[in-house]
Structure 1
């Protein structure tokens, strides 16, 4: 039954992708994209701040990898979770090298190596989310297909100068993950960290779009793209903190349920509300002897 459901989901996703590719126009890569506001050189390094601002990605990626395997510090329950988070932190650490390489001499050929590790991070985090909130087995089986989808989207752009598949790989998780965080129950506590991570990524994208404006507003001190790197690096920081703090959620409420109960309590002047209850059936609880 689960295999059929997994195949159905993939079939629907592929069908939607084909329809979008038919009805939407081609999106070529603009050469203006490589024209960043801050092109200053320091210590012989061109585009210095845009290069060195990638260093936090390497630091948090390495820390995350170490904690994944050091005595199972993150208390990961399933092998699929370990694989997913390993791919995520490897992608994050690789962003530091790929993005720095690109910013030393921005062009399309180098941009490939900037985007490849980012797609690894995007797609692996989406598979992790499926494991936690939809189905553990389906999420685990989706890791490789999602990673392959991300890599193919970059290769497709490189060969056909069409950003549509890459845009889907980047932005679908950005929309789906916050919605799923709010609406679907998680097997773990501290779900709010997902929303903090999503918020910082959204701010990073705004800073990227306002690269030249921010550079002007700060009197040429720092550009929007440099800030984009720093804010985007906060995404794995929040997720690492979440992994370190969270425990298995016994009652398993969704954030929406939690907020609804809190709001109802406020409306009823703090009186206890007993209209809502949740059950958790996926994790067994051992009774003390």
Structure 2
């Protein structure tokens, strides 16, 4: 098992090195700091882009408190507590870092916007390994993954190359939904992972359409402001999942659950109403 772990890390590192060799550097564009909504209210520059970070602070602090309040989330593994603690710290820090950046957008301040996000991303990856692959390996991975995130930010800042940061940000976006669907969960209510992933995808679309959405809404709200609000829904859904879930007695992946459901639909033939088996019946088991 240890050899397999070393082999997996070796393949991952080798793949990263090859990627860095064969792909060109991605410099940070100065246009990134040119947001659509530059309005100022009550003396706060770029007001809506600043204050729309407040939900991150609220849900981050709430989640952090509940992690330690009488074991409210009923963690069954010590590694989970470490992973979720890092996640909620990262979420709360996003509010501070992103607000600081949007007061005066530039590369130097962008570091403090991206750093908390990488903490949240890498923590989630460790949490998935703990819950669905191996507790010991996942717990050990927390520190290396956090360091990888921090190094990716430093590499971008000193070498003006976004490739490592892009890898840290987007690999979890692909890996987490796939793992949520294919790997058998330890807990019920796994569908919340997919809701969280969906809102994050929506947030990225809104970020890319910042100026377009600002025009569509007749300069009421920009895409970047909506991006903050949608992204804040990610920790909201994950906090709800933690509060509602329980240990499942039969570990069945979402993919298997959906496959069984569709098989029953095909067998029943005319029972079209049973096709609504996506998110209404996604929880692997009803809560006991």
Number of the residue aligned with 1:140: 139
Distance across 2 between alignment mates of 1:68 and 1:167: 29
Question: What's the RMSD between the two structures over aligned residues?
Answer: 1.0
| C-alpha distance after superposition, 1:115-139 (max 9, x if no partner) | 0000000000110011111111111
Number of the residue aligned with 1:287: none
Distance across 1 between alignment mates of 2:76 and 2:3: 25
Equivalences for residues 83-232 of structure 1 within 5 A: 83-232=82-231
How many residues matched? 270
Number of the residue aligned with 2:276: none
Q: Secondary structure at 1:233's aligned position in 2? A: helix
Deviation at 1:6, TM superposition (A): 2.2
1:22 aligns with 2:21: yes
Distance across 2 between alignment mates of 1:6 and 1:156: 26
Number of the residue aligned with 2:43: 44
Q: Secondary structure at 2:174's aligned position in 1? A: helix
Q: Secondary structure at 1:73's aligned position in 2? A: coil
Q: TM-score scaled to structure 1, two decimals?
A: 0.92
Listed as ranges, the gaps of 5+ residues in structure 2 are: 271-288
Q: Secondary structure at 2:268's aligned position in 1? A: coil
Number of the residue aligned with 2:283: none
Distance across 2 between alignment mates of 1:75 and 1:270: 42
Distance across 2 between alignment mates of 1:4 and 1:127: 20
Equivalences for residues 56-75 of structure 1 within 5 A: 56-75=55-74
Deviation at 1:177, TM superposition (A): 0.5
Number of the residue aligned with 2:245: 246
Q: Secondary structure at 1:8's aligned position in 2? A: helix
| C-alpha distance after superposition, 1:179-233 (max 9, x if no partner) | 1111110111100000000000000000000000000000000000000000000
